[in-house]
């Protein structure tokens, strides 16, 4: 039932279906059609990754590079700022349970309030389509000392609080911005998962007099645990890959290095200080972190792409 | 409770819109009041002092070709992966899967150096190609799962009738897969329009600057004149909001097909 289809790739021998067999003409189409995507991805993504890996072992100022072995990594290990930056990443992970909680609560509420649920789904997703730059500038403006938030809180005695000058409140503002822009996606995913839960389960629970909290804990969460895991992993990845814009416009990494993330620090060392080799080593570390998380995600959810009805 | 959360997502937009109409003094006195006079001074100030429309134009110059190419190339790749006999396709798909979430800085270091070395800094072409490339993995991933739900028999029927692969793709896959393809186009548009890092590094001259770097610099310039700042933010958000408003249903459903089992 198999036949050789000699495309341009050496030794290509894909399995053809029997009714394809009579048309055993040599088809180059798949390779031609794949070429643009393959070339762009290989030349502009895979090759640069390779170059970044190579240059992380060099002294590189953007013009000349010289192999220096593990020197960059030794410098990174002894960089007094680095523990702070890694700690920041861990602190920013607080946003993951917050995003999950906000997504879950809003999804459950939207699910129960069947009337107009599309409207709420529509509204909750709005922050997701805004640029982090826009959200970030908005947040940094309203959290200025004596700004809009302070005005709101003045009855509570916080009329002139410099939110972005205190390490913890600055981090809180960044986390809040991330949670606000991200929970809509989680809500949409959870809501879709909930529509696959048999409503009879809820009816039975209602008859037994189960409380709202009890239904959430005993029916909803177990039934959608797959989606919750998926959202956890994806949001952990996002805290490493998508905080750059927020940090850039809200805090510029400060106060001190209190909100500096790995990618923001890499940006400063390379594009502002010109230490490209050192930056490449930092980027490589970030790449390994994200790659590990991606593998976790792919291994946990190999069939994530199974389509969703409704 | 629901309405409260709903307000939290809509109110910031209203906050921007209302405050664009105030003077900076009126804002300083009360940022939450309704504007007393309908005034568009902050918009005219913005246009007079910042090359704002130019930034929008630059962004469109980059976004439009990149969205068209990324979507079309992703659709072709996804078609090849799901419907044609091809060897080695799995390896390429696996590579795409692995680098799908890769932080931009990992590839931008060497790309920036190469681009600057060839005198192509502040040139739109490399930016367009890089934006196209980085949006292909997720686009292909999403469309691959989309095209899988198209029955093979539809494709086989076309092939038996003597249609070329390209014809099958254009006449069968594109129409049937339209919701998914639209979703990928919208996602790619949002990704590029909203992205900061690449535009900041590659297109930093005034005559090439895109919208997000322009907006990021506004906050320093207008921290004391918030209405102008809000005018900028609002205008910067309008294209993405419009796109979302007209396509929300197709978009949300299409996006879920890649995210939900």
Domain of residue A143 covers 82-300
Q: Do B9 and A127 touch (CB under 8 A)?
A: yes
Residues 6+ apart with CB under 8 A from A245: A131, A132, A133, A136, B195, B196, B197, B212, B216
Average pLDDT rounded to a whole number, residues A123-147:
88
Q: What is the pLDDT of residue A136?
A: 93
Given a contact cutoff of 8 angstroms between Cβ atoms, the answer to whether B86 and A14 are in contact is: yes
Residue A309 in this model has a pLDDT that exceeds 60? no
Q: What is the CATH number of the domain that holds B100?
A: 1.10.3720.10
Does some domain include residue A67?
A: no
Average pLDDT rounded to a whole number, residues A248-274:
90
Does some domain include residue A245?
A: yes
Does some domain include residue A170?
A: yes
Q: Which residue has the higher pLDDT, B95 or B8?
A: B95
Does some domain include residue B31?
A: no
In chain B, which residue's Cα lies nearest the Cα of A194?
B260
Categorize the per-residue pLDDT at B75 as very low, low, confident or very high, splitting at 50, 70 and 90.
very high
Q: Do B134 and A249 touch (CB under 8 A)?
A: no
Residue A22 in this model has a pLDDT that exceeds 70? no
Average pLDDT rounded to a whole number, residues B222-238:
85
CA angle A111, A113, A116 (to 5 degrees): 100
Interface of A with B in 225-244 (CB under 8 A): 226-227, 230, 237, 240-241, 244
Q: Do B103 and A151 touch (CB under 8 A)?
A: no
Q: According to the per-residue pLDDT averaged within each range, which of A159-163, B36-40, B141-145 is highest?
A: B141-145
Q: What is the pLDDT of residue A12?
A: 39
Residue A156 in this model has a pLDDT that exceeds 60? yes
Which residue from A290, A293, A286 is spatially nearest to A86, judged by alpha carbons?
A286
Q: What is the pLDDT of residue A7?
A: 38
Does some domain include residue A121?
A: yes
Instruction: Compute, in degrees rounded to 10, the torsion defined by CA atoms A148, A149, A152, A153.
Output: -140
- B71: which 2 tokens? 């979507």
Average pLDDT rounded to a whole number, residues B97-102:
89
CA within 13 Å, CB half, A237 = 23
Residue B81 in this model has a pLDDT that exceeds 80? yes
Does some domain include residue A208?
A: yes
Share of chain B above pLDDT 70, in %: 97
**A28 touching B, CB under 8 A?**
no
Q: At B205, is the secondary structure helix, strand, or coil?
A: coil
Does some domain include residue B12?
A: no
Q: What is the pLDDT of residue A307?
A: 32
Q: Dihedral of CA A96/A99/A105/A111: which sign?
A: negative
CA–CA separation, A17 and A88 (whole Å)? 54
Given a contact cutoff of 8 angstroms between Cβ atoms, the answer to whether B115 and B202 are in contact is: yes
Q: What is the pLDDT of residue A26?
A: 58
Of A19, A144, A305, the CB nearest to B160: A19
**DSSP designation for B244:** H
* Cα→Cα distances B97→A37, B170, B218, Å: 13, 26, 37
In chain A, which residue's Cα lies nearest the Cα of B168?
A29
Average pLDDT rounded to a whole number, residues B242-257:
87
| Burial (CB count <10 Å: 0-12, 13-18, 19+), residue A272 | exposed
β-pair partners for A59: A66
Does some domain include residue A166?
A: yes
Given a contact cutoff of 8 angstroms between Cβ atoms, the answer to whether B107 and A52 are in contact is: yes
Domain of residue B171 covers 52-212+239-256
CA of B188, closest CA in chain A: separation in Å?
11
Given a contact cutoff of 8 angstroms between Cβ atoms, the answer to whether A243 and A28 are in contact is: no
**A275 touching B, CB under 8 A?**
no
Residue A288 in this model has a pLDDT that exceeds 50? yes
Share of chain A above pLDDT 70, in %: 88
Given a contact cutoff of 8 angstroms between Cβ atoms, the answer to whether A173 and A139 are in contact is: yes
Q: Do A290 and B103 touch (CB under 8 A)?
A: yes
Model pTM greater than 0.90? no
Q: Do A49 and B107 touch (CB under 8 A)?
A: yes
Given a contact cutoff of 8 angstroms between Cβ atoms, the answer to whether B257 and A307 are in contact is: yes
Q: At what angle do helices B104-117 and A47-55 cross, to 10 degrees?
A: 90
**DSSP designation for A218:** I
User: What's the residue count for chain A?
Assistant: 310
Does some domain include residue B90?
A: yes
**A216 touching B, CB under 8 A?**
no
Categorize the per-residue pLDDT at A302 as very low, low, confident or very high, splitting at 50, 70 and 90.
low
Q: What is the CATH number of the domain that holds A94?
A: 1.10.3720.10
Give the β-pairing of A65-67 and A58-60: antiparallel
Which residue from B199, B175, B187 is spatially nearest to B135, judged by alpha carbons?
B187
Which helix (H) or strand (E) is A68 found in, with range?
none
Average pLDDT rounded to a whole number, residues B156-182:
89
Does some domain include residue B13?
A: no
Q: How many domains does chain B have?
A: 1
Does some domain include residue B234?
A: no
Categorize the per-residue pLDDT at A303 as very low, low, confident or very high, splitting at 50, 70 and 90.
low
Q: Do B165 and A30 touch (CB under 8 A)?
A: yes
CA–CA separation, A123 and B69 (whole Å)? 30
The per-residue pLDDT of chain A, averaged, comes to 83
Residue A200 in this model has a pLDDT that exceeds 60? yes
Q: How many domains does chain A have?
A: 1
CA–CA separation, B106 and B134 (whole Å)? 12
Interface of A with B in 99-118 (CB under 8 A): 106, 109-110, 113, 118
Categorize the per-residue pLDDT at B258 as very low, low, confident or very high, splitting at 50, 70 and 90.
low
Given a contact cutoff of 8 angstroms between Cβ atoms, the answer to whether B260 and B148 are in contact is: no
* φ and ψ of B141, to 5 deg: -60, -45
Categorize the per-residue pLDDT at A297 as very low, low, confident or very high, splitting at 50, 70 and 90.
confident
Average pLDDT rounded to a whole number, residues A148-169:
80
CA–CA separation, A75 and A56 (whole Å)? 12
Does some domain include residue A17?
A: no
Does some domain include residue A47?
A: no
Interface of B with A in 96-115 (CB under 8 A): 96-113
């Amino acid at each position: 039932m198999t036949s050789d289809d000699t495309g341009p790739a050496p030794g290509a021998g894909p399995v053809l279906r029997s009714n394809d067999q009579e048309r055993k003409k040599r088809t180059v189409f798949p390779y031609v059609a794949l070429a643009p995507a393959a070339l762009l991805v290989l030349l502009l993504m895979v090759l640069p990754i390779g170059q970044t890996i190579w240059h992380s072992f060099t002294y590189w100022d953007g013009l000349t590079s010289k192999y220096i072995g593990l020197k960059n990594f030794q410098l990174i290990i002894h960089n007094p700022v680095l523990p702070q930056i890694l700690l920041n990443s861990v602190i920013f992970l607080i946003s993951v349970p917050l995003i999950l909680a906000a997504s879950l609560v809003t999804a459950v509420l939207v699910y129960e309030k069947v009337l107009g649920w599309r409207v709420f789904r529509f509204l909750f997703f709005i922050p997701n389509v805004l640029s982090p730059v826009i959200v970030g500038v908005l947040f940094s403006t309203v959290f200025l000392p004596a700004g809009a938030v302070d005005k709101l809180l003045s009855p509570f005695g916080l009329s002139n609080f410099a939110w972005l000058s205190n390490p913890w409140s600055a981090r809180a503002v960044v986390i809040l911005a991330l949670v606000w822009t991200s929970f809509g996606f989680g809500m949409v995913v959870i809501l879709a998962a909930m529509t696959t839960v048999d409503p009879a389960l809820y009816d039975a629970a209602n008859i037994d007099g189960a409380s709202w909290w009890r239904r959430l804990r005993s029916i909803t969460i177990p039934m959608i645990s797959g989606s919750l895991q998926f959202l956890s992993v994806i949001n952990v990845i996002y805290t490493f890959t998508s905080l750059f814009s927020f940090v850039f416009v809200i805090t510029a990494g400060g106060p001190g290095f209190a909100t500096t993330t790995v990618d923001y620090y890499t940006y400063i060392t390379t594009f502002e200080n010109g230490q490209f080799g050192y930056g490449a080593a930092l980027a490589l570390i970030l790449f390994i972190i994200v790659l590990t998380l991606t593998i976790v995600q792919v291994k946990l959810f190999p069939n994530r792409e199974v389509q969703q009805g409704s | 409770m629901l309405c409260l959360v709903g307000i939290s997502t809509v109110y910031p937009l209203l906050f921007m819109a209302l405050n664009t109409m105030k003077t900076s003094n009126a804002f300083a006195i009360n940022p939450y009041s309704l504007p007393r006079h309908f005034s568009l001074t902050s918009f005219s100030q913005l246009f007079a002092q910042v090359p704002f429309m130019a930034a929008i134009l630059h962004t469109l110059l980059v976004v439009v070709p990149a969205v068209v190419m990324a979507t079309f190339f992703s659709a072709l790749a996804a078609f090849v992966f799901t419907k044609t006999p091809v060897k080695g396709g799995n390896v390429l798909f696996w590579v795409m899967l692995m680098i799908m979430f890769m932080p931009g800085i990992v590839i931008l270091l060497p790309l920036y150096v190469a681009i600057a070395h060839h005198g192509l800094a502040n040139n739109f072409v490399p930016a367009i190609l890089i934006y196209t490339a980085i949006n292909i993995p997720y686009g292909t991933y999403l469309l691959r799962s989309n095209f899988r739900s198209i029955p093979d028999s539809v494709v086989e029927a076309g092939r038996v009738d003597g249609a070329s692969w390209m014809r099958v793709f254009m006449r069968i896959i594109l129409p049937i897969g339209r919701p998914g393809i639209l979703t990928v186009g919208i996602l790619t548009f949002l990704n590029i329009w909203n992205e900061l890092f690449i535009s900041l590094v590659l297109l930093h001259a005034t005559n090439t600057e895109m919208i997000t770097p322009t907006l990021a610099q506004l906050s320093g310039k207008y921290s004391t004149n918030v209405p102008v700042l809000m005018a900028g933010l609002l205008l910067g958000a309008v294209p993405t909001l419009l796109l979302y408003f007209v396509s929300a249903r197709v978009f949300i459903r299409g996006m879920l097909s890649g995210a939900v089992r």
